[in-house]
Chain A
Amino acid sequence: MEGVLQILKIPELIGNLLAFALLFWLLKKFLWGYILETIDKRKRSIELAYQEVENRQREAEKLKRQLEERLARIDEEAHERLEQAAREGRQLAEEIRAAAESQREKMLIRAQTDIAREREKARVELNNYAVDLAIDISEKLLRQKLDREEHRRLVQALTEGL
């Protein structure tokens, strides 16, 4: 026991204890509050930082959602526009086809009219030529065939009804 006490050096130990207690008291008295306050501040700061991060994260998620929605809308709009363009294209093609058909009909009618007119013209010309020819031949035949006596008889016949 005595050996142990010798090893421990009680007075020194007691002094150390007292010094420690004094130090502890001084610390508690003057630094503890400050330390706790600092720790608390730090804790609040960390909590705020966390909160900020969470807020930012929420905001980012919100933005992401908005972006996704926007992208979806853009996709939808693009699809709708493509559909519209396709519809307009089909309509335009139909209009062009109808116009071409109408033009073709008109050209056909005009060509038919032209052909009919030319045919009629040719028919009239041919008829007139045939008439001219017939009258010329008749005149020549009459000149050849009619002698003085026949002229005389014709005059008598023509003037009979006067």
Chain B
Amino acid sequence: MAVYETRAAKRYATALFELAGARGVVERVDEEIHQVASILADPRLRRFLLQPQIPRKKKLQLLNTALGEGVHPLLLSTLQVLLRKARLGQFAAVASYYDLLTDRLRGVEEVTIITAVELPPEDYEAVRAKVAKYSEYPNLRLATKVQPEILSGIIIELGREKVIDLSLRTQLHDLKQRLIKHRRI
């Protein structure tokens, strides 16, 4: 997910994850947090909640009315705290990091394979099998993306921190830098 996880978002997600873990509701919150994130992504709702001129009380009422019954109290409390701290705009990042923490709990890490054209499923599987040894987790969840701008080759994103960039775009860029540096032309 292309969401920039700020340190604050990570702190909120970790707190929610630990509390959910203590109550044994990690999976339920994980499901609900994604639903809430997609609801809050609605532009009209987002505008309403982020509009500074609208009183916070009205926003809280809206959240309680719309989500109060449908989500776990822990998640609702997190939303209320984010609203009070004027950080509701970072909810998508909180959800993303919570997802990562849940994946780690399950022993799952996401591997994202980016190519210039779509490849047959067996090719993706072959790549997943090859990069499994670089992961600290036993299970890899595969995600694929097609980005023609990489020209050709492959970019493999393992979890949040590891990236193996074997794209032609990057190789051409490196070649360009070397040519400029050494003035070969």
Which of A's residues lie within 8 Å of B, judged by CB?
A: 123-124, 127-128, 130-132, 134-135, 138-139, 142-143, 146, 148, 150-152, 154-156, 158-159, 162
**B41 close to chain A: CB less than 8 A:** no
Binds A, one of B28-36, B47-55, B65-73, B173-181: B173-181
The proximity string for B residues 142-185 relative to A, scoring 1 for CB distances below 8 Å and 0 otherwise, is: 00000000011110000000001010110010011001100101
Contacts of A142 in B (CB 8 A): 151-152, 168
Evaluate contact between B176 and A139: CB separation under 8 angstroms.
no
Contacts of A139 in B (CB 8 A): 151, 169, 172
Q: Which residues of B in the span 21-60 have a Cβ within 8 Å of any Cβ on A?
A: none
Give the shortest distance, in Å, between A52 (CB) and chain B (any CB): 108
Contacts of A135 in B (CB 8 A): 172, 175-176
Evaluate contact between A159 and B166: CB separation under 8 angstroms.
yes
Q: How far is the CA of A134 from the CA of B175 in the complex (A)?
A: 10
Contacts of B130 in A (CB 8 A): 159, 162
Give the shortest distance, in Å, between B158 (CB) and chain A (any CB): 11
Contacts of A134 in B (CB 8 A): 179, 185
Contacts of B115 in A (CB 8 A): 151, 155
